[in-house]
């Protein structure tokens, strides 16, 4: 195994732990936005698609790359928009109502 591969495994492991810790703390209230958000973020495969589509490695590669760019962009654009739309709906209580003791 090359040293790059080892470093990548470290990155994977640590990112996995960070993800596990961070995401375990997200309340079920926000699980649907969480899914939409990870969906949007996973559109990061756009960076790989861009390189494939633009590197001029033959027609087929360019075509595959372009489709991949389209798919990933759709996820990024659609994902961030819908997450924002959802999160905008979550509003705290209006200030008036409820002064009574809530036991």
Partner 1 sequence: MIATGIQLAYLSSAALFVLALRALGQPTTARRGMQMAAFGMLVAVCATLVDQRIVSYEWLIVGLVAGGVIGYPLGMWVPMTAMPQRIAFSHAFGALAATLVGVGEYMHGFHEGTLTYGKTVALGFEVFFGALTVTGSLMAFGKLQELLPGAPITFRGQNVFNLSLFAIGVICLVWLVVSPYDTAFFVAILAIGLAVGVLMVLPIGGADMPVVVSLLNSYAGLAAVATGFALDNNILIVVGALDGASGFILSMAMSKAMNRSFANVLFGAFGAEAGGPEATQAGASGEMVGIDADDAALRLAFARRVIIVPGYGLAVAQAQHQVRELADLLEKRDVDVRFAIHPVAGRMPGHMNVLLAEAGVSYDKLFDMEDINERFSDADVALVIGANDVVNPAARTNRSSPIYGMPILNVQDAKSVIVLKRGRGKGFSGVENDLFVSPKTNMLFGDAKQSITQLCVEVKQA
* Interacting residues with partner 1 between 32 and 61 (CB under 8 A): 32-58, 60-61
Residue 8, interface with partner 1 (CB under 8 A)? yes
Residue 3, interface with partner 1 (CB under 8 A)? no
Number of chain positions touching partner 1 (CB under 8 A): 88
DSSP string, 28-49: GGGHHHHHHHHHHHGGGHHHHH
Name which of residues 65 to 94 contact partner 1 (CB under 8 A). 65-94
Whole-angstrom CA distances from 58 to 15, 22, 70 are 35, 42, 18
Two tokens, residue 70 = 């389209």
Residue 4, interface with partner 1 (CB under 8 A)? yes
């Amino acid at each position: 195994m090359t040293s790059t591969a080892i470093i990548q495994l470290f990155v994977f492991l640590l990112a996995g732990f960070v993800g596990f810790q961070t995401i375990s703390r997200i309340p079920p209230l926000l699980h649907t936005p969480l899914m939409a958000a990870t969906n949007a973020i996973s559109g990061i495969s756009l960076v790989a698609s861009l390189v494939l589509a633009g590197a001029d490695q033959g027609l087929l590669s360019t075509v595959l790359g372009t489709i991949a760019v389209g798919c990933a962009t759709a996820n990024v654009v659609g994902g961030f928009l819908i997450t924002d739309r959802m999160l905008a709906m979550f509003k705290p209580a209006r200030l008036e109502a409820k002064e009574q003791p809530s036991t």
